[in-house]
Amino acid sequence: QVSSPQPPLKYTPTQMVETLHGVFGDHHARAIHTKGIMLTGRFTPSPEAARVSSAVHLHGASVPIIVRFSNFVGVPDAPDNDPMSSPRGMAIRFTLPDGSSTDIVSHSFNGFPSQNADQFRELLQAIAASGPDAAKPTALDGYLATHPAAKHFLTVAKPAPVSYATLPYYGVNTFKFINASGKVTYGRYQIVPMAPAQYLTDAQAKVAAPEYLSKEIGERVGHGPLRFRLMLQLAGKGDHIDDPSIAWPDTRPQVELGVIAIDHLVPDSVAAEKKIVFMPNRLPKGIEVEDQMVNFRSAAYGVSFSARQ
Ligand code: HEM
């Protein structure tokens, strides 16, 4: 694995949330991934999971989960078929037997536009300065010319999904997993739907209803549980463990950590969404932060949470 020394960050989580509001609007809701829907279910660990981590939810009995699916853009009423609504988000809270909890916050893109939080803020600032009336070349044109990962993230085709349940999701940041014998494994989550991945054509997406995804997920869950495999992609030689903008090769081995089964809509999703803040660094013994973006993210999520109460 490769760990590159990261320069100290210039900007704070509060400045980051202000920048997100500058791009998407300040609406006292989530600064990004604003529109979502919550469901509940259970997570059942696989027998192999304990090989990589002693975390309590990764061995033994199943545990309850709360899941929030969301759209990328930081606009509360953005239509589900808006291109800026991709990638989609999947946040999961596992309730542990002692009443504490641990979270995974993932999205449907294997990578991130930026190596670190400062770069992400610079990208957002370039977007904010490049509205439809901005002179060409815009600040964003200039930024993308020198930042290939950001260009890839913004320009690669991200077709609208048939369902939140037919998309793979990626944890993107690397975590350190420690098993009962103290053995360390570095890995990234991949959440793979058991339903085949399915996308709308551009023509279908154009005519889809603005709320088609929330309506679809409500209908689908009424016919039986939505199932995903929680996988851990293991770092190989040369893989960056603190740079989420670089996806690891698909050939890396994976360990199945368990199965996610989602079976109910949360009755008052709006109220439940307001109350909850998922934290990527809320971790039990047996899993630790490796990529420092995870701590920065969690601090920014806390700032956004306070602003939306
Ligand atoms: C420096 C990097 C990042 C920053 C500053 C950032 C910032 C934020 C903020 C402020 C929120 C709103 C939190 C709330 O009000 O509860 C949020 C939500 C979210 N972010 Fe990030 N984020 C970053 C990286 C990522 C990455 C790498 C992913 C995917 C792996 C991701 C996926 C999500 C998702 C899915 C949500 C919605 C969570 C929910 O359903 O409550 N973010 N992000």
pLDDT tens-digit series, residues 187-224: 999 999 999 999 999 999 999 999 999 999 999 999 99
Beta-strand relationship, 88-95 and 254-265: unpaired
Residue 279 CA to ligand 1 center (angstroms) comes to 9
Cis peptide before 137 (omega within 30 of 0): yes
pLDDT tens digits along 150-189: 999 999 999 999 999 999 999 999 999 999 999 999 999 9
Tokens 């929680």: give the residue: 230
Residue 1 is assigned to a structural domain of this protein: no
Closest to 286 measured CA to CA, from 76, 84, 129, 53 = 53
Task: Give the pLDDT score at 177.
Answer: 98
Average pLDDT over residues 42-70: 97
Task: Give the pLDDT score at 3.
Answer: 80
Residue 107 CA to ligand 1 center (angstroms) comes to 9
Number of structural domains the chain divides into: 1
Report the distance separating Cα 174 and Cα 115, nearest Å.
Answer: 12
Report the distance separating Cα 194 and Cα 171, nearest Å.
Answer: 18
Closest to 221 measured CA to CA, from 39, 67, 83 = 39
Say yes or no to pLDDT of 139 above 90. yes
Task: Give the pLDDT score at 101.
Answer: 98
Residue 101 is assigned to a structural domain of this protein: yes
Say yes or no to pLDDT of 132 above 90. no
Report the distance separating Cα 131 and Cα 135, nearest Å.
Answer: 9
3-state secondary structure of 154: helix
Domain that holds residue 66: 13-307
User: Are 94 and 63 spatial neighbours (Cβ–Cβ below 8 Å)?
Assistant: yes
Task: Give the pLDDT score at 1.
Answer: 80
Residue 110 is assigned to a structural domain of this protein: yes
Range of lowest pLDDT (1-5, 38-42, 97-101, 152-156): 1-5
Average pLDDT over residues 220-238: 97
Report the distance separating Cα 181 and Cα 3, nearest Å.
Answer: 24
Assess whether the C-beta atom of 33 lies below 6 angstroms from ligand 1: yes
Give residue 111's region: left, alpha or beta (phi > 0; psi -120 to 50). left
User: Are 241 and 109 spatial neighbours (Cβ–Cβ below 8 Å)?
Assistant: no
Tokens 């202000």: give the residue: 18
Residue 140 is assigned to a structural domain of this protein: yes
Say yes or no to pLDDT of 98 above 80. yes
Residue 246 is assigned to a structural domain of this protein: yes
Q: What percent of the chain has pLDDT over 90?
A: 96
Residue 5 is assigned to a structural domain of this protein: no
Assess whether the C-beta atom of 299 lies below 6 angstroms from ligand 1: no
Average pLDDT, the chain: 96
Q: Give the pLDDT band (50/70/90) at residue 12.
A: very high
Residue 19 is assigned to a structural domain of this protein: yes
Residue 33 catalytic?
yes
Cross-strand partners of 254: 233
Residue 273 is assigned to a structural domain of this protein: yes
The answer to pTM > 0.95 is yes
CATH number at residue 101: 2.40.180.10
Active-site residue among 33, 57, 107, 147?
Answer: 33
Cross-strand partners of 181: none
